[in-house]
Amino acid sequence: MIVLSGMIGAGKSSLTNILAEHLGTQAFYEQVDDNPVLPLFYANPKKYAFLLQIYFLNKRFASIKRALADDNNVLDRSIYEDALFFHMNAEMGRATEQEVQVYDELLDNMMEELPYAAHKKAPDLLIHLVISYDKMLAHIQKRGRPYEQPQNDASLVDYYHNLLDRYQQWYQDYHYGPKMQIDCDKYDFVDNLADRQAVLRIIDKKLQERKTLDN
């Protein structure tokens, strides 16, 4: 099982689709476009941060259980990133101490239960997508979700920069299994076929080193 991580607009869903097709396996996507809470959060972050994160946590727990139960799958985001978002929102004053306590206890219980529910300890590989603010913003503008656009909400500029900074430490602290990074400023795996093939070769090599892919 492969899990992807990275910023909003980094290209996780696109690479998930590319990898699933390349490896002949199933893709699991995060629920975004039909997420009923996400637009509410962007409209009123302080009111809906806790509800949004519980919604995501529940969906991510269900997805990774299903993915870990099978032999081969790719997830475009996983439960391992969940706390990063909520703790940052809490530090921004968007969640109460009680909400943080409830969230942390629930996440801890889920992480303890996961190996028993899925009969596997952790993903075989984490692929973290590294991207600059300008490149991320170009991707966000291209896909056109109104609630993600900084021109519609100036507070998103600080939010995105804060999240970018925190991802560096999050990746360093990730300890559940093998991990690697892909530079999304260097490789345009969505629109450039040569870049796509280069990225797939890099990932294949890593999987072969881990003996999770035949040579």
Confidence check: pLDDT of 151 > 70:
yes
Single out the residue of 184, 189, 186, 181 nearest to residue 206, CA to CA: 181
**2-214 sits in which CATH class?**
alpha beta
Share of the chain above pLDDT 70, in %: 94
For residue 21, name the pLDDT band (cuts at 50, 70, 90): very high
| Residue 97 annotated as part of some ligand binding site | no
Single out the residue of 196, 215, 195 nearest to residue 205, CA to CA: 215
| Residue 42 annotated as part of some ligand binding site | yes
Computed over every residue of the chain, the mean pLDDT equals: 90
Confidence check: pLDDT of 215 > 70:
no
Spatial neighbors of 118 by CB under 8 A, at least 6 apart, are: 64, 65, 67, 68, 69
pLDDT in tens, 196-212: 999 999 999 999 987 66
* 37 vs 31, residue with greater confidence: 37
Give the model's pLDDT for residue 93.
94
Per annotation, catalytic residue among 34, 71, 76, 165: 76
* 17 vs 211, residue with greater confidence: 17
| Residue 8 annotated as part of some ligand binding site | yes
Mean pLDDT of 149-175: 91
Residue spans per domain, the chain: 2-214
Give the model's pLDDT for residue 174.
94
| Residue 177 annotated as part of some ligand binding site | no
Q: Does residue 76 carry a catalytic annotation? A: yes
